[in-house]
Structure 1
Amino acid sequence: MTLCYRPATPQDAPECLRLRGLTRENPVSVQRLAELGITAQSWAADTASGDLPGFVALEGGAIVAYCFGAARTGEVVVLVVMPAHEGRGVGRHLLGLVGALLRQLGHTRLFLGCSPDPRDRSHGFYRHLGWRSTGEVDRYGDEVLELLPAEG
């Protein structure tokens, strides 16, 4: 089946929360997200207000991947790809869409939290795409990576 991409809507929030717990690496349950203050209601409200813009990838009408960023800070908040869709360029494409949107909002520096463990796929994925370590660690114990505009 062919994938299609579209901007995320507030109605996508419950499914995005559910899928977050089904990732192969670093799954986070709906319950754990709620403990962190992230609920379907808060996610939908942040999406509706424009504070949390994002994109979803759909196959056969079902969300199979998504990426969201923080409009105010330039942070890529979350990138999720279901295991059956890994290695197909879906994450790269979604990251590019969110990155371009954050740049349009005026951010020259994008950043995100990533596993510091080189055995995790995300560790190499972001670095391969040009993201560099800041040497900082966020409140979740993730390494902070940044992407600056290309020089030249």
Structure 2
Amino acid sequence: MDIVYRAARAQDVAACIDIRGKTRENAFSEQDLAAVGVTLESWGAAVRDGALPGYVATVQGRICGYCFGDRETGEIVVLALLPEYEGRGAGKTLLGLVIRDLKELGFTRLFLGCATDPAVRSHGFYRRLGWRSTGTFDDANDEVLEYFP
């Protein structure tokens, strides 16, 4: 089955929240997200007003992954896939689409928070794509990586 990519819409956010709770690593339930201020309403509004540009990956019309960035800071806020779609290039493609959009907005440096444990998939994923450690950590104790598109 082919994976189709498209710009995210506010009505996609409910599916994105559901997927975030089903990821193999770094899963966050709807309640976990709400505890840090991310709700259907807040995320939907940020997509609607363009604060969080993003893309979704779909298979037969069903969302199987997504990536969003922050248009004000250049942060890659989230990249998530359902486990059964890992290893098919969807994460790399979604990330590339958001990087392209943030670059078009004028960013010459992007950043994100990443697990410090080499056993976690994201640790190697971002580094293989050219992201480099800044030597700093965010509030969640994730390592801050940067990328220069």
CA distance, structure 2, for counterparts of residue 12 and residue 4 of structure 1: 14
Name the SS for the 1:17 alignment partner: helix
The alpha-carbon deviation at position 141 of structure 1 amounts to 1.0
1:123 partnered with 2:128:
no
Q: CA deviation at 1:78?
A: 0.1
The Cα offsets for residues 36-93 of structure 1, whole Å up to 9 and x where unpaired, read as 0000100000001100010000001100010000000000000001110100100000
SS at match of 1:50: coil
Q: Counterpart in 2 of 1:135?
A: 135
Partner of 1:98: 98
CA distance in 2, matches of 1:88, 1:32: 28
**Structure 1: tracts of 5 or more residues without a match:** none
- Greater than 3 Å deviation, 4+ residue runs: none
Rounded to whole Å, the distance in 2 between the matches of 1:4 and 1:44 is 21
Where do 1:3-152 residues align within 5 Å?
3-149=3-149
Report which stretch shifted further, 89-98 or 140-149. Answer: 140-149
> What SS does structure 2 have at the residue aligned with 1:24?
coil
Where 1:116 maps in the other structure, the secondary structure is coil
Q: Distance in 1 between matches of 2:111 and 2:132?
A: 9
1:127 deviation in Å? 0.2
Deviation at 1:109, TM superposition (A): 0.2
TM superposition shift of 1:23? 0.3
How many residue pairs align between the two structures? 149
Cα RMSD for the two superposed structures? 0.6
